[in-house]
């Protein structure tokens, strides 16, 4: 039997297990997927938890519910990949051989990279919402908070779902209006970027939305440390922003497994061919999802689009043909803007997000780069699609390559 | 697109003043660009610029943190070398495109 191993059973790994089981002969190929945890988290749902829209139950399911029959699931921490010998070593020393490997170990937040961040105020006045623990602690805090300086800070890029911090402050605006204490809450968005978002046209539109909602923006702020006694965040060029409640998006890194395997860059992102989605070091290793060092968003929609490319190219490699599929970096994100409204952006490696409308067969169109109620429903619908269509590797009603129809150039 | 002369050569720049073709770059040009801002480049500066050029050439993403991990300087030192917005300035002098580290 030939062996396909998949490392990490999050969004990308689960999709690949489903897709590859459909296309590989069962009597020729054994497929095994490995993850350290039993629980699958719907990470986009973390954004909704601090505001009481979702509870923990809304965002968790058992990983095994999504792994198809005919795929082995091993629950273990992965120690490293030995690419020269086609082996994966698990934490307890067990060795697994492979013919082909898919890496989908994602990225995680590393608050330890910033002095003072994970200190005595952690989960008391300083919160993250990129983990279930952080999101829940913040929900508790908001229940009784009387107001003050609410600061959202992005420590560094790249981060998962770069629109989530923007959504957070817009939700916070709506949330505190509804609670009747918006006049007591000063909201400040502190970012290392030049403006609200990474791409110029989107940044302008989104920046305008923040202004309308009375949310302050402090740009070009690169976080050095958090002073727990003075309750300020400090940048490398010694600017300070005071906070009563700090919501942090800490530095993101790939799993240390990547480093131990010698497959990554200095942030432990896997060195990946941005078009063919295989490792730049080994032809029989493919990479999907956040763990890759691609110049596109780290987002579930990107994982979905990339999964079609990885499936096709894996089949090419297995059958000894040249790799035919080429990834364009397609990303498509709904942006919650509060009060039941939402916006949508759609872009790839070469085209920045543009205004216009996004044709969505059967349901759309969705307004691009503008606030509409339809976009908000799009985001809520995404959770259903995530569990029922996306993870199972079924066809989504959006093609993987970006198209220009409806966009205003 | 604009054109500008550095070290006796006409260079194509994008709307933000960044090189469109990194291969046109020479050390002399970097010195002239810095001089326009009243700055003098030392060997340390050039070590950083070479590091940036190498990273960009290999298609890797570039962040302030990766420069801080380069072994050439730490992040504080990087801010001292290129005061203000260090990454924007250093990539400008390095003759590469403006960083889009964030997507
Ligand atoms: C707050 C928030 C909001 C978001 N909103 C959106 C959104 O609106 N739209 C959107 O498209 N995307 C959104 N995302 C991003 C999306 O969730 C991720 O891009 C996606 O889940 C990435 O999938 P992945 O397979 O690469 O990684 P993951 O799904 O994170 O899976 C990685 C898996 O690898 C396992 N693993 C890692 N290392 C090891 C090891 N050494 N041993 C064993 N197992 C290991 C982990 O346990 C994990 O299960 C959001 C993310 C967050 C945090």
Q: What are the tens digits of pLDDT across the range A338-383?
A: 888 887 788 888 887 777 767 665 555 666 777 777 778 777 778 8
CB contact under 8 A, B76 and A266: no
**Contact between residue A196 and residue A207 where contact means Cβ atoms under 8 Å apart:** yes
Ligand 1 atom nearest to A107, measured from its CA = 30
Whether the CA torsion B26, B27, B28, B32 is positive or negative: it is: positive
Along the 409 residues of chain A, how does pLDDT read in single tens digits? Answer: 999 999 999 999 999 999 999 999 999 999 999 999 999 999 999 999 999 999 999 999 999 999 999 999 999 999 999 999 999 999 999 999 999 999 999 999 999 999 999 999 999 999 999 999 999 999 999 999 999 999 999 999 899 998 899 999 999 999 999 999 999 999 999 999 888 876 777 888 888 889 999 999 999 899 999 999 999 999 998 999 999 999 999 999 999 999 999 999 989 999 999 999 999 999 999 999 999 999 888 999 899 999 999 999 999 999 999 999 999 988 887 787 888 888 778 888 888 777 776 766 555 566 677 777 777 877 777 888 899 888 998 876 666 676 666 666 5
* pLDDT on residue A148: 98
Whether A405 is covered by a domain: the verdict is: no
Ligand 1 center from residue A164 Cα (angstroms):
14
Of the three residues A318, A341, A363, the one that is the final residue of a domain is A318
CB contact under 8 A, A224 and B75: yes
What one-character DSSP code corresponds to residue A363? T
Cross-strand partners of A103: A7, A287
Question: What is the distance between the alpha carbons of residues B90 and A27, in angstroms, rounded to a whole number?
Answer: 56
CB contact under 8 A, B103 and A331: yes
| 3-class state of residue A299 by DSSP | coil
Question: What is the distance between the alpha carbons of residues B57 and B41, in angstroms, rounded to a whole number?
Answer: 22
* pLDDT on residue A336: 79
CB contact under 8 A, A158 and B61: yes
Q: Which residue of B has its CA nearest to A333?
A: B103
In this complex, which of B61, B70, B76 lies closest to A293 when CB atoms are compared?
B61
Geometric angle at alpha carbon A10, from A32 and A198, rounded to 5°: 140
Spatial CA neighbour of A172 closest among A236, A204, A127, A226: A127
Helix ranges (H only) for A179-288 are: 200-212, 256-260
How far does Cα A82 stand from its chain's mean position? 27
Residues A145 and A247 in one domain: yes
Distance from CA of A207 to the nearest CA of B (A): 16
Residues A90 and A116 in one domain: no
Mean pLDDT within B17-29: 93
What one-character DSSP code corresponds to residue B98? P
Distance from CA of B71 to the nearest CA of A (A): 11
Residues A117 and A243 in one domain: yes
Q: How many domains does chain A have?
A: 3
Given the structure tokens 């929609």, which residue do they identify? A301
In A36-85, the DSSP E strands lie at 39-41, 60-62, 71-75, 78-82
Identify the residue whose C-alpha is closest to ligand 1 atom 8: A44
Whether A403 is covered by a domain: the verdict is: no
Ligand 1 center from residue A346 Cα (angstroms):
20
Q: Does A257 contact ligand 1 (Cβ within 6 A)?
A: yes
How far does Cα A342 stand from its chain's mean position? 18
Of the three residues A196, A226, A251, the one that is the final residue of a domain is A251
Region of poorest pLDDT, from A87-101, A144-158, B38-52, B61-75: B61-75
Q: Say yes or no: ipTM exceeds 0.95.
A: no
Residues A167 and A134 in one domain: yes
Q: Does A44 contact ligand 1 (Cβ within 6 A)?
A: yes
* pLDDT on residue B103: 44
CB contact under 8 A, A267 and B75: no
Residues A302 and A246 in one domain: no
| 3-class state of residue A95 by DSSP | strand
Residues A28 and A84 in one domain: yes
Pocket test for ligand 1, best of A9, A80, A299, A382 (most atoms within 8 A of CB): A299
Q: Which residue of B has its CA nearest to A297?
A: B103
Q: Which residue of B has its CA nearest to A275?
A: B59
Whether A132 is covered by a domain: the verdict is: yes
- DSSP labels for A342-367? EEEEEE-SS----SEEE--TTT-PEE
Contacts of B63 in chain A (CB under 8 A): 156-158, 267
Spell A347-358 as b/e; 16+ CB within 10 A means b: bbbebbbbbbbb
Cite the active site residues of B: 102
Domain that holds residue A166: 111-251
Whether A325 is covered by a domain: the verdict is: no
Distance from CA of A393 to the nearest CA of B (A): 25
Show the tokens assigned to A60. 């968790």
Ligand 1 atom nearest to A35, measured from its CA = 44
Whether A404 is covered by a domain: the verdict is: no
Of the three residues A270, A287, A318, the one that is the final residue of a domain is A318
Residues A308 and A343 in one domain: no
Q: Within 13 A of A373's CA, how many CA atoms are on the CB side?
A: 2
Whether A86 is covered by a domain: the verdict is: yes
Q: Please state whether the peptide bond connecting residue A158 to the residue before it is cis, i.e. omega within 30 degrees of 0.
A: yes
Contacts of B61 in chain A (CB under 8 A): 158, 265, 269, 293, 295
User: Chain A contact for B69, CB < 8 A?
Assistant: yes
Identify the residue whose C-alpha is closest to ligand 1 atom 53: A130
Residues A94 and A143 in one domain: no
Spatial CA neighbour of A400 closest among A312, A283, A278: A312
| 3-class state of residue A23 by DSSP | helix
Pocket test for ligand 1, best of A60, A106, A330 (most atoms within 8 A of CB): A106
Instruction: Indicate the angle between helix axes A300-318 and A11-23, nearest 10 degrees.
Output: 40
Q: Does A164 contact ligand 1 (Cβ within 6 A)?
A: yes
Residues A58 and A129 in one domain: no
**Contact between residue B74 and residue B68 where contact means Cβ atoms under 8 Å apart:** yes
Q: Can you give the CATH number for the domain in which A183 is found?
A: 3.50.50.60
Whether A398 is covered by a domain: the verdict is: no
Residues A240 and A121 in one domain: yes
* Phi and psi at residue A37, to the nearest 5°: -115, 160
* % of chain A surpassing 90 pLDDT: 73
Question: What is the distance between the alpha carbons of residues A385 and B42, in angstroms, rounded to a whole number?
Answer: 55
Kind plus residue range of the DSSP H or E element containing B6: strand B2-6
Residues A232 and A163 in one domain: yes
* pLDDT on residue A218: 96
Residues A155 and A242 in one domain: yes
List Cβ neighbours of A208 (8 Å cut-off, separation of 6 or more): none
């Amino acid at each position: 039997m030939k062996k396909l191993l998949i490392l990490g059973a999050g969004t990308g790994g689960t999709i690949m297990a489903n897709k590859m089981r459909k296309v590989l002969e069962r009597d020729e190929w054994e497929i095994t997927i490995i993850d350290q945890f039993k629980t699958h988290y719907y990470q986009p749902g973390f954004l909704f938890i601090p505001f009481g829209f979702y509870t923990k139950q809304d965002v968790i399911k058992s990983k095994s519910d999504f792994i198809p029959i005919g795929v082995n699931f091993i629950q273990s921490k992965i120690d490293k990949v030995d690419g020269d010998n086609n082996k994966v070593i698990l934490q307890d020393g067990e060795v697994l051989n492979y013919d082909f490997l898919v890496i989908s170990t994602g990225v995680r937040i590393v608050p330890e990279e910033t002095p003072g961040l994970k200190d005595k105020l952690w989960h008391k006045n300083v919160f993250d919402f990129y983990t279930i623990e952080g999101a829940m602690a913040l929900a508790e805090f908001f229940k009784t908070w009387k107001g003050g300086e609410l600061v959202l800070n992005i420590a560094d890029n790249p981060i998962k779902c770069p629109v989530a911090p923007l959504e957070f402050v817009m939700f916070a605006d709506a949330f505190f209006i509804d609670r009747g204490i918006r006049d007591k809450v000063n909201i400040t968005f502190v970012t290392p970027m030049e403006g609200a978002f990474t791409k110029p046209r989107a940044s302008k539109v989104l920046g305008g939305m923040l202004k309308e909602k009375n949310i302050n923006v402090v740009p070009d702020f690169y976080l050095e440390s958090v002073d727990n006694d003075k309750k300020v965040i400090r940048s490398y060029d010694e600017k300070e922003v005071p906070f009563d409640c700090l919501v942090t998006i800490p530095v993101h890194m790939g799993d240390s497994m990547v480093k131990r395997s010698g497959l990554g860059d200095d942030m432990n992102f896997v060195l990946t061919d941005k078009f063919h989605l295989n490792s730049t070091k080994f032809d029989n290793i493919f990479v999907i999802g956040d763990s890759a060092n691609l110049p596109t968003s780290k987002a579930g929609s990107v994982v979905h689009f990339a999964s079609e490319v990885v499936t096709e190219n894996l089949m090419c490699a297995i059958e000894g043909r040249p790799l035919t599929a080429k990834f364009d970096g397609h990303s498509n994100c709904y942006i919650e803007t509060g009060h039941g409204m939402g916006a949508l952006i759609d872009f790839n490696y070469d085209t920045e997000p543009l205004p216009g409308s996004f044709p969505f067969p059967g349901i759309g169109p969705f307004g691009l780069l503008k606030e509409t109620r339809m976009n908000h429903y799009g985001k809520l619908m995404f959770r259903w699609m995530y569990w029922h269509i996306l993870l199972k590797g079924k066809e989504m009603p959006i093609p993987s390559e970006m198209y220009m129809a409806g966009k205003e150039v | 697109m604009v054109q500008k002369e550095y070290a006796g050569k006409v260079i194509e720049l994008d709307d933000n003043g960044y090189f469109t073709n990194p291969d046109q770059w020479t050390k002399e040009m970097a010195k002239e660009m810095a001089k326009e801002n009243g700055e003098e480049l030392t060997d340390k500066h050039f070590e950083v610029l070479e590091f940036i050029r190498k990273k960009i050439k290999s298609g890797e993403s570039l962040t302030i943190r990766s420069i801080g991990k380069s072994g050439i300087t730490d992040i504080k030192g990087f801010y001292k070398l290129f005061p203000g917005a260090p990454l924007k300035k250093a990539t400008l002098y390095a003759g590469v495109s403006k960083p889009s580290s964030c997507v």
